[in-house]
């Protein structure tokens, strides 16, 4: 058969090109310089809201091809819900407020102490003694979340939340309310540093002329086991006021964390890159927002069921940039191998199709040779039939060439076979025309034949 294996090198070359194209496209997909990240804005008027703005500004300045789409939320619960519903790629959530089940931690942005302040000399030395008392809570966007955090603590001590009254006041009014006995304690949720906890301690000191006490929660570790959105924290002496110090000794309390989270389905390499960007821009973030100094990397060994670290960022923390390269190679294998298999299948199908076309051309050439061979022995009627068959084959060949489905490389073979068949028919036609007609018996020979 003519050139049956001619296209095998072409098929192999096509498979190789498709494999290379698959690898290049996979790399471009993973390392694409353009990215759009949807992120919740944080509750308006809160430090979280300011941090999100600063984070987006700093990151886009360092990576101009990264763009943020801000998704406004009115509460911490709504921010968590946006992550759980797949509406955002990044969200700032609080660990004790409806943490999204699909959320994975990239960074701990802030750790806030649940500080219960008491006036100097207060007989309250345990949470159980808050029954029947009023607790003042700073007014603000998170006041209800802070009140529910107090509910959880009371529930642990088998105290019905409605047994402790709440009084929501501006920070500066909390100290005077405690001085006038309108409230027996104050709950402030804030960091060790500038924030509500420091402001409330200062307000109480100004109104009562004495440093407030910080209520210790010795059962903090047990509470965390029941409410994993909390953490146990040892507040150092003087954390909220230096002179006189508040607290006056290291005190065990509860804390909550604000976390930058991504969905668990995010590719490991992408999560690692985002986490690396947060760490690399921390210094510039501090310049834009001092609260960024409290950014922490999550513990890679933390087994908490609430907002665990994303495995992609955990791998980065363990192995650095090498983990990102390993993840990239993994995705190249995952994408490149199917792409190469698909390319091989396409090349195989293309080769079979070309071979089938080649067989068709060879079959036509074979039929032309058969016509030429039969023409040598054909009578006039058979010769006319062969001539008609030749015309039909020529028509088919011309139609294939016109439609572009014929192999140009095989055209000389087909042309030669057509010319050979045409010459054979013409030669036979001349031979039949030159041959003498058959002779019939004459009248004189008939009686002789009868007499014999």
DSSP string, 367-425: HHHHHHHHHTT--HHHHHHHHHHHHHHHHHHHHHHHHT-S-GGGHHHHHHHHHHHHHHH
The percent of residues in the chain predicted with pLDDT above 70, rounded, is 74
Which pLDDT score, from 0 to 100, does residue 410 have? 63
Decide: 371 and 420 in contact? Cβ < 8 Å. Answer: no
- How many other C-beta atoms lie within 10 A of the C-beta of residue 183? 24
How far apart are the C-alpha atoms of 337 and 386, rounded to whole Å?
54
pLDDT band at 66 (very low <50, low <70, confident <90, very high): confident
User: Average of pLDDT values for 164-170?
Assistant: 96
pLDDT attached to residue 371: 79
Q: What pLDDT is attached to residue 353?
A: 52
Strands 35-40 and 134-138 come out as unpaired
Q: Which of 186, 164, 165 is nearest to 175 (CA)?
A: 186
Q: Which of 66, 12, 2, 14 shows the shortest CA–CA distance to 39?
A: 66
Predicted TM-score of the model (pTM) = 0.64
The string of pLDDT tens digits covering residues 183-236 is 999 999 999 888 899 999 999 999 999 999 999 999 999 999 999 999 999 999
Average pLDDT over residues 284-296: 77
Q: pLDDT band for position 3 (50/70/90)?
A: very low
Between these two residues, 75 and 138, which has the higher pLDDT value? 138
* pLDDT for residue 381: 82
Residue that wins the pLDDT comparison between 411 and 371: 371
Q: Do the beta carbons of residue 119 and residue 246 sit within 8 Å?
A: no
Instruction: Please say whether the beta carbons of 240 and 192 come within 8 A.
Output: yes
pLDDT > 60? residue 333: no
At 354 the pLDDT is: 53
């Amino acid at each position: 058969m003519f050139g049956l294996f001619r296209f095998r090198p072409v098929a192999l070359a096509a498979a190789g090109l498709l494999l290379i194209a698959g690898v290049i496209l996979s790399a471009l997909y993973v390392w694409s310089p353009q990215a759009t990240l949807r992120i919740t804005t944080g509750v308006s008027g809160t430090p979280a809201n300011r941090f999100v703005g600063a984070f987006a500004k700093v990151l886009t300045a360092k990576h101009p091809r990264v763009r943020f789409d801000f998704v406004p939320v009115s509460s911490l619960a709504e921010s968590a819900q946006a992550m759980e519903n797949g509406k955002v790629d990044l969200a700032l959530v609080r660990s004790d407020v409806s943490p999204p089940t699909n959320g994975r931690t990239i960074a701990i942005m802030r750790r806030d102490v649940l500080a219960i302040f008491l006036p100097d000399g207060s007989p309250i030395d345990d949470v159980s003694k808050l029954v029947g008392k009023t607790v003042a809570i700073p007014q603000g966007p998170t006041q209800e979340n802070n009140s529910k955090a107090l509910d959880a603590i009371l529930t642990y001590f088998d105290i019905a939340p409605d047994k402790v009254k709440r009084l929501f006041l501006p920070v500066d009014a909390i100290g005077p309310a405690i001085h006038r006995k309108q409230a027996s304690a104050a709950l402030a949720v804030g960091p060790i540093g500038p924030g509500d906890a420091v402001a409330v301690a200062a307000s109480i000191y100004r109104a009562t002329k004495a440093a407030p006490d910080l209520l210790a929660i010795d059962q903090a570790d047990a509470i965390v086991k029941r409410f994993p959105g909390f953490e146990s924290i040892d507040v150092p002496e003087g954390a909220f006021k230096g002179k006189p110090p508040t607290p006056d000794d290291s005190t065990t309390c509860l804390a909550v964390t604000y976390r930058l989270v991504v969905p668990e389905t995010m590719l490991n390499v992408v999560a690692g890159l985002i986490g690396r960007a947060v760490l690399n821009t921390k210094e510039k973030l501090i310049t834009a927002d001092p609260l960024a100094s409290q950014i922490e990397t999550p513990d890679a060994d933390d087994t908490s069921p609430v907002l665990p670290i994303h495995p992609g960022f955990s791998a980065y923390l363990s192995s650095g940039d090498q983990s990102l390269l390993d993840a990239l190679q993994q995705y190249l294998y995952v994408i490149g191998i199917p792409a190469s298999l698909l390319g091989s299948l396409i090349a195989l199908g293309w080769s079979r199709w070309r071979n089938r076309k080649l067989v068709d051309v060879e079959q036509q050439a074979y039929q032309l040779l058969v016509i030429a061979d039969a023409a040598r022995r054909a009578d006039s009627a058979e010769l006319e039939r062969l001539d008609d068959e030749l015309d039909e084959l020529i028509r088919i060949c011309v139609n294939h060439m016109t439609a572009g489905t014929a192999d140009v490389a095989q055209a000389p073979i087909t042309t030669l076979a057509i010319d050979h068949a045409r010459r054979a028919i013409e030669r036979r036609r001349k031979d039949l025309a030159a041959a003498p007609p058959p002779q019939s018996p004459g009248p004189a020979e008939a009686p002789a034949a009868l007499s014999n």
